[in-house]
Amino acid sequence: MTTVSDAEKIILSQAKDYGSELIPFENALGRVLAEALTADRDLPPCNRVTMDGIAISHAAFESGIKTFRIIGTMPAGVQPIEITNPNECVEIMTGAALPDTTDTIIRYEDIEIKNGIATLLTDKITKGQSIHYKGKDKKQGDVVAPANEYITPAHISMAASVGKSMLLVKKLPKVVIISTGDELVDVTERPTPYQVRRSNSYAVKAALQQHGLHADTLHIPDEPNETRTQIEKCLTQYDVIILSGGISMGKFDYVPQALEELKVEKLFHKVEQRPGKPFWFGAHASGVLVFAFPGNPVSTFMCLHRYFLPWLKKSLISPSPLGEGRGEALYAILNEDITFSAPLQYFAQVKLKRCKHGHLHATPIEGHGSGDFANLLNTDAFIELPLEQSVFKKDEVYPIWPFKNIF
């Protein structure tokens, strides 16, 4: 059997670059930038006024002038109006370009305006106040966002500001999620008491959707020829095949045999872990990767978050500034003792809570094994407990693999 850490290493060593593509910036949220974003001009592009008020020459104020004749009013976005006399000023709004003949802004709160004359109500005036100077944030050509980062709303805002209507992003692998099992019926069907509705493929599809990846789904029956034929077709059409079910010791588990017959090289089968022990992983000579997860919904869910998503992240962002696999994991403090003595690495389901000091605390909620998918709704993450120990004490800190948004 393979250890969790070896399984992780093997999977991460199969990270692949799927190239890049240009897409409209508005659709790029959650994708990974494949090019650096640069400023197409200085930011800000002019000396930008940051308060509503008047623009004056500081030298005029220094010479003792306290009243200024308003020669015009400037909204943002217009060509500046210039003063020709020190006792003149321009009424000016936030975001407007500062006239070259002025150098200081006095906000409305510090002036009184009567009959077109502004009178200063304060003498605390600093030259250059309330001005955001041209190029202060970024110079034309400066990198505003490096490549190899997830695109966030701040990136979308910057792309809009610098006029990048199309962004070069990392291509996502083409993924198919295959469910297996004759006991499974479609969501719209009424199952007999001996059947269950398919849920794994929808769970995986939804988790991938959160990463901007839209996968296809397929269901195959527990029949060896059909299993082989369908997987064979997928090997020609996809970059990654995620399977659920059919990989254990059961009489109707035909997946490993079909994969072997299709010459998908087995890189490991069975991991020293609970849940998810029967996990099978392999690669075809064509480059297609096969993640075959056990069918129990909690096992599929755990393997997806512990192995597939870190693999996806490494394939898209390499090298990752946060580390890889377990290196990028978040950590939480156990709130209660856990005892687990089987010689397997235990991934306990936990409810997370952030305390007032900002630390994450994990309360175990055990559930009833890997078939108890209802427990996934009571919990937020798997906590990864080391194989070498069987008692895990309150206040000890371990890595977590969240499957819900914890922020």
What are the residues binding Mg ion (CB under 5 A)?
Answer: 181, 245-246, 295
297 binds, among Mg ion, ligand AMP, none (CB under 5 to 8 A by kind): ligand AMP
184 binds, among ligand AMP, Mg ion, none (CB under 5 to 8 A by kind): ligand AMP
Q: 253 vs 384, which CB is nearer to ligand AMP?
A: 253
207 binds, among ligand AMP, Mg ion, none (CB under 5 to 8 A by kind): none
Q: 164 vs 198, which CB is nearer to ligand AMP?
A: 198
Q: 157 vs 209, which CB is nearer to ligand AMP?
A: 209
User: Rule CB under 6 A: which residues touch ligand AMP?
Assistant: 179-181, 183-184, 196, 198-201, 244-246, 248, 250, 294-297, 371
The 3-class secondary structure across the chain, one letter per residue, is CECHHHHHHHHHCCCCCCCEEEEEHHHCCCCEECCCEECCCCECCCCEECCCEEEECHHHHHCCCCEEEEEEEECCCCCCCCCCCCCEEEEECCCCECCCCCCEEEEHHHEEEECCEEEECCCCCCCCCCEECCCCCECCCCEEECCCCECCHHHHHHHHHCCCCEEEEECCCCEEEEEECCCEECCCCCCCCCCEECCHHHHHHHHHHCCCCCCEEEEECCCHHHHHHHHHHHHHHCCEEEEECCCCCCCCCCHHHHHHHCCEEEEEECECEECCCCCEEEEECCCCEEEEECCCHHHHHHHHHHHHHHHHHHHHCCCCCCCCHHHHCEEEEECCCEECCCCCEEEEEEEEEECCCCCEEEEECCCCCCCCHHHHHCCCEEEEECCCCCEECCCCEEEEEECCCCC
The CB-of-200 to ligand AMP minimum distance in angstroms stands at 3
The CB-of-180 to ligand AMP minimum distance in angstroms stands at 6
196 binds, among ligand AMP, Mg ion, none (CB under 5 to 8 A by kind): ligand AMP
Q: 179 vs 315, which CB is nearer to ligand AMP?
A: 179
The CB-of-247 to ligand AMP minimum distance in angstroms stands at 6
198 binds, among ligand AMP, Mg ion, none (CB under 5 to 8 A by kind): ligand AMP
Q: 249 vs 285, which CB is nearer to Mg ion?
A: 249
Q: 190 vs 357, which CB is nearer to ligand AMP?
A: 190
Nearest residue to the partner ligand AMP, using Cβ: 295
The CB-of-292 to ligand AMP minimum distance in angstroms stands at 9
The CB-of-183 to ligand AMP minimum distance in angstroms stands at 5
